[in-house]
């Protein structure tokens, strides 16, 4: 992965050395409710915690006397070669974190030849983000793949325009989030609703135009910004209140009626982009994804923001990898906070991993340079871990490199 000298105001002595240090720096800079919006999970945050802690149960079984003077971190996914087996996961409203939001993250990703996925709830248009792919590339180096994340509305036809915009802009894959029939019980958001400040919008989402007042008609004051209808539903205190909100929202809600037999054929009819399902957590659903011709799956529990009682994504990964049997790429997100975590996920069988919150922390600390700094930390940690484990390329990372701590007694069992 290409490197870039430190900016003049950043020295090696002050730059964060780990993703934890980046997060602490971001926490100190961000308004408390914005930090909590990004950092928190649902309910008691058990899934959020499990995502990170699951990695600690695994240890690496290093091999020695192997020439690791050259370590290759590149990998190929859907025919695209990328500098790292790590991409940047979608996250909403990135300009709230700082800088130019999605443009900073996209520019950092494109410069480093890394994959990124844009949230449909971004604060930058998908066209402007897509343009960074080619603006920062030079010579014969192909630009990295950018993917587009989407939620389908109850009226799926309302999503067609956005999907076609993404394809026209050059996104190579459509990432359909499938784990949000309703939003999880995100207590931090319920206590302090996050709304966009004046001048900040969601340009990828259609909104109802404000009616133009008739001549001589007094214009009413602008209403206070409100959370989305999906987040208002999360605040419903009774079933009657929830039903009323759903009735009033109509087709603006995230769909809770998606199915294997209707949703996927619908998407195939309207786009030639690859279709990746984000939110698969069981081998049963992974097998169905293969059977229904999905191009890839992301093992994800939405960063611990949906069902709090689910397992960690890493814990779900072995069964899912076995069920897929190499038929399609298996991507993991959730809890990845070091290059060693990346190694462990790849060793279990993931083809690729995504990081979400760490990119936001880098953005909050130093804009696009901060995002690049996060990815450089991960690259150095992964490369170092590979060398110390006796691995020369990503393709050599297998389950035989891992052990799991015994529940009873003492020692390590091979995974």
Report the catalytic residues.
302
172 is in an annotated binding site: no
Please tell me whether residue 396 adopts helix, strand or coil conformation: helix
The residue written with tokens 């109850």 in the block is 154
119 is in an annotated binding site: yes
334 is in an annotated binding site: yes
117 is in an annotated binding site: no
Strand spans (E) along 61-141: 75-77, 80-82, 86-88, 116-118
**Could you give the C-alpha distances from 116 to 52, 130, 141, 266, 400, in angstroms and in order?**
21, 10, 17, 25, 30
159 is in an annotated binding site: no
- Say if residue 247 is exposed, middle or buried (CB neighbours under 10 Å; 0-12, 13-18, 19+): exposed
**Looking at residue 361, what DSSP letter applies?**
H
384 is in an annotated binding site: no
40 is in an annotated binding site: no
Paired strand residues for 392: none
40 and 48 Cβ atoms separated by less than 8 Å? yes
138 and 159 Cβ atoms separated by less than 8 Å? no
333 is in an annotated binding site: yes
91 is in an annotated binding site: yes
Start-to-end CA span in the chain (Å): 31
268 is in an annotated binding site: no
356 is in an annotated binding site: yes
99 is in an annotated binding site: no
The residue written with tokens 């050395």 in the block is 17
User: HSE of 325 in the Cβ direction (CA atoms, 13 Å)?
Assistant: 6
279 is in an annotated binding site: no
186 is in an annotated binding site: yes
177 is in an annotated binding site: yes
372 is in an annotated binding site: no
326 is in an annotated binding site: no
CA dist 63 and 174 (Å) reads 39
113 and 151 Cβ atoms separated by less than 8 Å? no
Q: CB-based contacts of 16: which residues, under 8 Å, 6+ apart? A: 22, 25, 365, 373, 377
Q: ∠255-257-262 over CA atoms, to 5°?
A: 110
Name the binding residues for glyoxylate. 151, 186, 302, 305
Name the binding residues. 90-92, 119, 149, 151, 177, 186, 278, 300, 302, 305, 333-337, 356-357
Name the binding residues for FMN. 90-92, 119, 149, 177, 278, 300, 333-337, 356-357
């Amino acid at each position: 992965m290409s490197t870039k000298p430190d900016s003049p105001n950043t020295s090696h002595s002050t730059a964060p050395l780990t993703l934890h240090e980046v997060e602490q720096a971001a926490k100190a800079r961000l308004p408390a409710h914005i930090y909590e919006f990004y950092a928190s999970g649902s309910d008691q945050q058990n899934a959020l915690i499990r995502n990170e802690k699951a990695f600690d149960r695994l240890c690496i079984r290093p091999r020695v006397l192997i020439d690791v003077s050259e370590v290759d971190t590149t990998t190929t996914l859907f025919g695209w070669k990328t500098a790292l087996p790590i991409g940047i996961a979608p996250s909403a409203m990135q300009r709230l974190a700082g800088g130019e939001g999605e443009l900073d993250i996209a520019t950092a990703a494109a410069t480093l030849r890394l994959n990124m996925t844009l949230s449909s709830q971004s604060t930058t248009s998908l066209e402007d983000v897509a343009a960074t792919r080619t603006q920062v590339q030079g010579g014969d180096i192909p630009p990295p793949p950018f993917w587009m994340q989407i939620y389908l509305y109850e009226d799926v036809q309302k999503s067609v325009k956005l999907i076609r915009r993404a394809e026209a802009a050059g996104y190579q894959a459509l990432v359909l989030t499938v784990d949000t029939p309703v939003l999880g019980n995100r207590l931090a958001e319920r206590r302090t609703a996050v709304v966009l400040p004046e001048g900040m919008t969601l340009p990828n989402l259609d909104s109802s135009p404000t009616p133009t007042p008739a001549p001589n008609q007094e214009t009413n004051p602008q209403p206070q910004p409100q959370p989305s209808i999906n987040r208002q539903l999360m605040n419903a205190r009774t079933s009657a209140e929830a039903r009323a909100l759903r009735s009033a929202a109509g087709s603006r809600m995230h769909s809770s009626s998606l199915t294997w037999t209707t949703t996927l054929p619908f998407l195939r009819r309207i786009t030639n982009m690859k279709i990746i399902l984000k939110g698969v957590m069981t081998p049963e659903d992974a097998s169905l994804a293969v059977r229904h011709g999905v191009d890839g799956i992301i093992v994800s529990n939405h960063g611990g923001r949906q069902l709090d009682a689910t397992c960690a994504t890493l814990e779900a990964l072995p069964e899912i990898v076995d069920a897929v049997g190499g038929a399609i790429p298996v991507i993991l997100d959730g809890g990845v906070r070091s290059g060693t975590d990346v190694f462990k996920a790849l060793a279990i069988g993931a083809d690729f991993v995504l990081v979400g919150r760490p990119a936001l922390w880098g953005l909050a600390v130093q804009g696009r340079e901060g995002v690049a700094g996060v990815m450089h930390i991960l690259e150095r940690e992964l490369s170092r871990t590979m060398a110390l484990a006796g691995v020369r390329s990503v393709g050599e990372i297998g389950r035989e490199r891992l052990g799991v701590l015994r529940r009873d007694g003492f020692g390590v069992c091979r995974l």
